[in-house]
Structure 1
Amino acid sequence: MRELLKNNPLKLFVLAVIFAPIIEEMMFRTLIKPSHSDIILLLCSWPLFYSNKFIPADVHWVIKLGFIAIFLFTVFTILKQLIPEHRTLKVRNFLSRNATVVLIVSSLLFGMVHINNYVDTFVLNAALIALIIPRIISGFMMGLLKIKNENIAWPMALHAMNNGFVIIILIFSKTMENS
């Protein structure tokens, strides 16, 4: 993140405020009281997350994100046609009945995924726990927002606002340092 802040703050902003909230919310909040579309989004998000690793590193980041968006839209559209709503009904009912457990597990996983934002190698210590607990709490809050509004767009928006606030402060701080 420091490297992006220094070399390409626009890329950092787009990745952290647009791309990450959409993909991460699809990965972590779609199982909380899911709709049929949420299940399809979940099925799209994890392969999308891993397919990103196969795009060559030298591809311009805008082209890469464009490809990912097209890939997401295409896979979502295909899966929506292939998987009828009645096929996901039992899974959706089970997940909805167990929404509290799903909320807690998804919040913990969300926090753990963000460990990579702070360390290169995993070493559990008090500092790392102090950094991850707010991510777990924010994951929990975004999950509650998903439950209350029954729409993934709300946690995506909250996630984007949270990240945007931090990124704008970082960019502003960097600009003030360079002045």
Structure 2
Amino acid sequence: MSAGGYEVEHNIAAEEANKAHDGRRPDLSTFYSALDQLDDSREARHNPHALPTPSDLAALYDMLADAIALMRGTDETQHLELVDQLRQMANNPPPGGVKGVPDSFLDALDRVPKKALKKDDQCNICGLPFLDDPYPLVVELPCHPLHRFDLECIRPWLKINTTCPLDRKDLLKKKTPPPPPPEDDEEEWDDQFA
């Protein structure tokens, strides 16, 4: 999410957004520019049958892996699994292009109110405590109530993957409702025959 999106989401001035953002996240503008070029859901594509090249997809995954590694720092080992997943995707890009969630999915994610956050709650991607940000924008993924992330951290992941980075559940799969109970065709009798 750009700083402009941060301002709008929190209804704050640009100066406040810059202070809140200062040093928290790397600039992902190059990532989003590359994503716009490779996103197969774009309707204005010059040639709708042209697929992104594997090297372009690999570069996209590498950019996100580098950004996450930068957020977590080189001494952190917890981020390695997520960065390793992205590097593996870069080595074996999906055929046909980027398969992420639509913006409408991101807009519909449940926001976690600031008062519901604990002091030691932190984003599983950047590793920073949510409450370090004066205006935390924390979302909860539908797969598990404890899978909470800064929207700015989970957005790039979900734009290239439809799965949760923690449990790898596909977030776009609809849960099938349980089958309805069997209906009895017989009427209830009240022990009186007429």
TM-score, structure 2 length as denominator?
Answer: 0.28
Which structure's residues are more often strand, by fraction?
2
TM-score, structure 1 length as denominator?
Answer: 0.30
Which structure's residues are more often helix, by fraction?
1
Structure with greater Cα Rg? 2
